[in-house]
Amino acid sequence: MEQDIKKLKDETLLPEDVLKENGRSKPAWWQIWGSGLVLSGCSPSFYYHAARRRLTAVLFFVLFGLILAGLQTGQVVYAMRPFRDDVNAAFDEGKVPAVTIANGEAVVHGPEPFVAVDDGRNLVVFDTTGQYTGEELGDYESGLVLTKTKLVSIDDNGNIQTTPLNLPFLRQRTIEINAEVAQRILSGLQVTVFLGLAFWRVILGLIYVTMLALVVWFVADQVKPGIGFGPVWTTGLYAAVPAAYAHYLLDRVDIDFFSMFTLLLLAGWVVSLVAAAADRQAGDFLRGQRPLRAWRALIGLPMLVVLALDVIYQWEKGAAIVWLTAVITFLILFALELLAAQSGAVESRKIAPQE
């Protein structure tokens, strides 16, 4: 009778509660975070320990999303380096003149008129000599002309608009258009890119995983009645990490199609949910009850560095490098997990006769 009660109790307790009863302390949040970037892709025991810690999972997902946004922004920054150098060179060599607007008048520091664009449809001119007046814009679809005392432009409806430079809000400040200002604008653009990617990865990512979690929860509840939404949701937040890795690796070899990330996520979600919520079975690879062993994540550190550098620099031979690194890393980690599962099976067989 007592054994039946103990069995029923173990089946209804949360994993961390079972671990406490077995004399083990549950992993700290920083161990979950530190190991999640690697072990979420290969360790059933990771999901067993992490699935029901909701706040830790959400914050981890936010951190992972910010890391991805930062890496993608780094890719944009690196790709823009030649353009930034060209901008500096254009100002230094006088190909693009610096412009100062102060006290209601514009001063062009260079040869005039400076025609930046004139392709028959668009016109951009800086001219304080009077050769261009702005009336020329009537023959173009878009453009602007900066004269000594006004800025003439074409609005979205094709109408010519004139803005005097002696307006109060313009007279009260000095406006500089030079290499330094251009670099600040580009830096601001890069910050905007990061904020947009962060919103996409974090906010929209959370909404997307939550919507998918409702579907997965409905299906999981049919298989294992009474399973809570929390474990399903947090498991999906962690499963998004290996799905992102797999999506990137496949994309590097030109394999990509609509909803591929979703399919990868759902596949990993199913496996990780079995590892997190199924009844424990000693020695089983997916359902075994094993310590986290967060130190194993250090094995994946070189892989993370290689992936991060490849995202930013897009090496010519990067696909082969990241694939080789990822395959070797996960083979080693899978082997360690399998050995731990087999060790648990041996220990359980030793204990069984004594009982």
In tens, the pLDDT along 149-166 reads 999 998 878 889 999 988
| pTM of this structure | 0.81
Residues 110/113/118/121 CA torsion (nearest 10 deg): 130
Q: Put the strands of the sheet holding 160-164 in their side by side order.
A: 114-118, 122-126, 142-146, 150-154, 160-164
Q: Which of 40, 20, 22, 23 is nearest to 32 (CA)?
A: 40
Whether 17 shows a pLDDT value over 70: the answer reads: no
pLDDT band at residue 345 using 50, 70 and 90 as cut-offs: low
In tens, the pLDDT along 184-221 reads 999 999 999 999 999 999 999 999 999 999 999 999 99
Determine the residue type at 52.
R
Q: Say how far apart CA 55 and CA 321 lie, in whole Å.
A: 35
Distance between start and end Cα atoms, the chain: 15
* pLDDT, averaged across the chain: 86
Q: Say how far apart CA 185 and CA 179 lie, in whole Å.
A: 10
Whether 267 shows a pLDDT value over 90: the answer reads: yes
In tens, the pLDDT along 278-306 reads 777 766 777 777 888 899 999 999 999 99
The pairing of strands 142-146 and 122-126 is: parallel
Which of 13-17, 263-267, 329-333 bottoms out in mean pLDDT, i.e. has the lowest? 13-17
Overall average pLDDT of the 78-95 stretch: 89
Q: Where are the domains of the chain?
A: 2-79+186-354, 105-165
- 212's tokens: 């998918």
41 touches 245 (CB < 8 A): yes
- The percent helix, strand, coil of the chain (3-state, each to 5) is 65, 10, 25
In tens, the pLDDT along 29-73 reads 899 999 999 999 999 889 988 987 899 999 999 999 999 999 999
